[in-house]
Amino acid sequence: ANFSEEVVESFPSDIPTGIYYGWACVGNGDVLKMVLSIGWNPFYKNIKKSVETHIIHTFKEDFYGEILSIVIIGYIRPEKNFDSLEALISAIQEDIEEAKRQLDLPEHLKLKEDNFFHLPEGKIANNH
């Protein structure tokens, strides 16, 4: 789930690029583990900064147009380039495993229940 250019531009400019972990919620759905990439994705030679959320869950359908709420909990590693797509995929899998380990810690699990993730009625999009 990629954030729009407007949202990316509103992120604090002093947040270091790299890979983060935290919690994500689509609409008023379940709060799920996520990995977040902030940066230029050097492997793909992006010229614009992006913020890409990988929710660690398999959705039955797309959720374009939904409200995506995230809480960034911690930092995994800096952004880097890769020699091959396979190396990139391997690093992503390692990032996901690290995120799962960290988010299972009691101090991180309690943040999953924060009221931040409960949208006011009427803010549910596409019946999710």
Residue 13 is assigned to a structural domain of this protein: yes
Give the position of tokens 């931040």: 116
Entry pTM: 0.84
Per-residue pLDDT tens over the stretch 75-103: 999 998 888 989 999 999 999 999 999 99
* 3-state class (DSSP) for residue 113: helix
> Among candidates 41, 24, 28, which has minimal Cα distance to 85?
41
* Band of pLDDT at residue 21, cut at 50, 70 and 90: very high
Assigned domain for 95 exists? yes
Q: CB under 8 Å to 118, separation ≥6 — which residues?
A: 28
Annotated catalytic residue, options 5, 6, 9, 52: 52
Evaluate whether residue 103 is within a structural domain.
yes
Domain of residue 112, CATH code: 2.40.30.30
Asked if 52 is an active-site residue, the reply is yes
- Three-class SS string for 40-80? CCHHHCCCCCEEEEEECCCCCCCCCCCCEEEEEEEEEECCC
